[in-house]
Chains A and B, each alone.
Chain A
Amino acid sequence: MIRLEHVTKVFPDGTEAVKDLSLEISQGEFCVFLGPSGCGKTTSLKMINRLIPITRGKILIDGVDTQKRNVNELRRDVGYAIQSIGLFPHLTVAQNIATVPLLKRWPRDRQRKRAQELLDLVGMPPDTFMDRYPSELSGGQQQRVGVARCLGADPPILLMDEPFGAIDPITRHKLQEEFLKIQERLQKTIAFVTHDIDEAIKMGDTIALMKDGELVQYADPATLLAEPKDRFVRDFVGADRVLKGLRLLRARDVMRPPKLTLRVDETVERAIRLLDERRRSWIPAVEENGRFVGWIEREDLESASSLAEALTPAVSTAAPRTPLNEALSMMLGSATGSVAVLDDADLLVGLLSFGAIREVLAMDDESEDG
């Protein structure tokens, strides 16, 4: 748990970078410090591990005042990752990851074992990468190593300053997803700085939106989107906040169970009868064991001799954890206007339609009016 109590930072030149900031990040919470550049978010982060000294107020970690601790020991117990990564070029990937374990004087084989585990965790095969040097890695791989390094000695708290900032959007997206999965497992207490509202919404359990050194709104992403406290928040969150809200929901939240399906080994006549009875123009097709194989469209059935022949394979399918904004774009690219939601075994567990998403958007509209 991290607790900031009336924290103020005045730099020697008189700038008040952070003004009377109080907030609490509870155990296992992913808190994003968000705001335009110069709003004090990075300063706030760096005051937590005392890279920047506090002018007034105090910061407690698990109830202990950080000022009362040995500064280097404090930092070794708090993971730290930055945008520019700062990997040490003369050390191998394994040595880089084991920086804090080395400082903590872990035995050598334990350091190496830890580096191995962490490389596995961030999706880099240890056998390939352990003994490489940072200059032999791509930007995305370096970021992964940076994340692995901040987890080095398994600290309960992580401070991350735009750790996915310096990479291309596709890799960033992938790293964000992966890091969320890691966090689901590790349940670290995280303070994460970004200026990217999309990243904040995607990653944060809570968002601390800052402006000119002050905390403007501290809330979970849904609240921030639905009930922006003032004009600044509304503007910062953006005009498309309703659409942004979609990424907070997952396919499993709005999908409907597939009431009507056809097995591909059934006859064309039965399929035609079924579709005409229900006045549907398409129907999802599954195998005997329930695996989804594609769509059957009414008009294709006229000339088909078997359902397999009339089958249109799905261009894309969603998983229960797919964010709704992604599902929406899949929908726009699908001929049926629906997206099949499949579980890990490709079994059809639900269907997403425009209707369902429209309902969600309507709910958001109501909350905006209120």
Chain B
Amino acid sequence: MIQQAWQYMLDYPDKMLGWTWQHLQIVLIANAVAVVLGVLIGTWVSGKGREQIADGVIYAASILMTIPSLALFGILMGILYAMSLPSIGMLPVVIALTLYGLLPIIRNTHTALREVDPAMIEAGRGMGMSGLQLLLKVKMPLAVPVILAGLRQAMVMNIGIAAIGSYLGAGGLGQPIFRGLANYRKDLVLAGAIAVSVLAVVTDLVMASVERLVTPKGIRIGRRP
């Protein structure tokens, strides 16, 4: 059976690549928005005196995560329809994936910024750094690897969820899966499933090396045994 799926991929490489590219596009757009929003929100809530807001935001984001994807798609379709925006296709899927991606990014940003050694913050402030300088020159460089770990988690997760988005006509690798299910074509289902899995694994590996690249050298050295 795997052979049949393999055969399908070999026979229709253009189709497979097209779906993969669509799939990747959806995930990239959604996570690009999520990382911008997530870092902004995460940075804001980790400010002084916003501990309670932070708890609330992270709680809300984790509740979002518990909504099953199909249900979230449905809710978003309703909202978009009411706003007379396109309620099927890419838009609701991208929005849903953005929402799903927020939690790991907000949480990691918040944790990373909060866990910067207080001694460094005291030293920085004592030497006359403004709040913004402290954030950009000290806290952020130290937090970026952790934030990227959150993004990596979000992307891998979203690659899986995006497959379901094909149900709404967003395209992507969900398409061969759903089409195969409908027509009892196991080779199609498998071809889609394998492609989604490979995409997820490759994305994970790529993000892992990006993470390593952006980790400041001084910290990488420190981690060495």
Instruction: Knowing A89-B218, A90-B218, say if A82 contacts B119 (CB, 8 Å).
Output: yes
Residues of chain A from 47 to 63 with CB closer than 8 A to chain B in the complex: 49, 51
Task: Say yes or no: B126 contacts A80, CB within 8 Å.
Answer: yes
The CB with the most chain A CB atoms within 10 A, among B142, B218, B222, is that of: B218
A86 touches B142 (CB 8 A): no
Annotate B182-217 by CB proximity to A: 1 below 8 A, 0 otherwise.
000000000000000000000000000000000011
In the bound complex, how far is the Cα of B142 from the Cα of A75, in angstroms? 23
| Separation of A135 and B222 alpha carbons in the complex (Å) | 5
Chain B residues with CB below 8 A from A182, complex form: none
The answer to whether B129 touches A72 (Cβ under 8 A) is yes
Contact A135 B126 (CB under 8 A): no
Contacts of A84 in B (CB 8 A): 117, 119, 122
CB–CB B219/A73 < 8 A: no
Pairwise interchain contact A136-B141, C-beta atoms closer than 8 A: no
A281 CB, nearest partner CB in chain B, Å: 58
Least CB separation from A99: chain B residue: B127
Using A82-B119, A135-B222 as known contacts, say yes or no to A88 and B138 having CB atoms under 8 A apart: yes
Q: Main SS of the interface on chain A? A: mixed
> Is the CB of B83 closer than 8 A to any CB of chain A?
no
Minimum distance in angstroms from A141 CB to a CB of chain B: 14
**Secondary structure at chain B's binding surface: helix, strand, loop or mixed?**
helix
Q: Does A76 contact B (CB under 8 A)?
A: yes
Smallest beta-carbon distance A97→chain B, Å: 11
**A90-B216 in contact (CB<8A):** yes
User: Which of B119, B126, B141 is close to A75, meaning CB atoms less than 8 Å apart?
Assistant: B126
Residue A92 at the chain B interface, CB threshold 8 Å: yes
Q: B217 — which chain A residues lie within 8 A by C-beta?
A: 90, 133
**A103 with B216: CB separation less than 8 A:** no
Nearest CB of A to B35, in Å: 21
Count: A-B pairs, CB below 8 Å = 83
**B127 close to A100 (CB less than 8 A):** yes
B160 interface residue per 8 A CB criterion: no
Nearest Cβ on chain B to A156's Cβ, whole angstroms: 15
Which chain B residues (117-148) contact chain A, with CB distance < 8 Å? 117, 119-130, 133, 137-138, 141-142
Assuming the contacts A133-B217, A135-B221, A136-B221, asked whether A86 and B129 have C-beta atoms less than 8 A apart, the reply is no
Taken together as a complex, chains A and B put the C-alpha atoms of A89 and B127 apart, in Å, by 16
> Cβ of A167 < 8 Å from any Cβ of B?
no
Provide the bound-state CA to CA distance between A103 and B125, in Å: 12
Question: How many residues of chain A are within 8 Å of chain B by beta carbon?
Answer: 31
Least CB distance, A51 to chain B, in whole angstroms: 6
What residues on B are CB-neighbors of A72 within 8 Å? Answer: 128-130
Question: With an 8 A cutoff between CB atoms, is A342 at the interface?
Answer: no
Residues of chain A lying within 8 A (CB to CB) of residue B129: 72, 99, 103
Contact across chains for B219 and A103 when beta carbons are under 8 A apart: no
User: A74, B219: Cβ atoms under 8 Å?
Assistant: no
* B218–A75 touching, CB < 8 Å: no
B222 with A89: CB separation less than 8 A: yes
Q: Which residues of B contact A73 (CB under 8 A)?
A: 128
The distance in angstroms between the C-alpha atoms of A103 and B132, with both chains bound, is 12
Question: Is A85 an interface residue, CB under 8 A from the partner?
Answer: yes
B128: chain A residues within 8 A (beta carbon): 71-77, 100, 103
Q: How distant is B157 from chain A, measured CB to nearest CB, in Å? A: 29
Q: Check A134 against B123 for contact (C-beta < 8 Å).
A: no
Cβ B123 vs Cβ A86 within 8 A: yes
Contact of B123 among A74, A85, A90 (CB under 8 A): A85
Residues of A within 8 A of B221 (CB): 133, 135-136
The 9 A-B residue pairs whose C-beta atoms are closest, nearest first, are A86-B123, A135-B222, A90-B216, A133-B218, A75-B128, A76-B128, A84-B119, A86-B119, A80-B126
Subset of 30 A-B contacts with CB under 8 Å? A49-B126, A51-B122, A72-B128, A72-B130, A76-B128, A80-B123, A80-B127, A82-B119, A82-B122, A82-B123, A84-B117, A84-B119, A84-B122, A85-B123, A86-B121, A86-B123, A87-B120, A88-B123, A88-B138, A88-B218, A90-B141, A90-B218, A99-B127, A100-B127, A103-B127, A103-B133, A135-B219, A135-B221, A149-B127, A152-B127
Residues of A within 8 A of B (CB): 49, 51, 71-77, 80, 82, 84-92, 99-100, 103, 133-136, 149-150, 152, 159
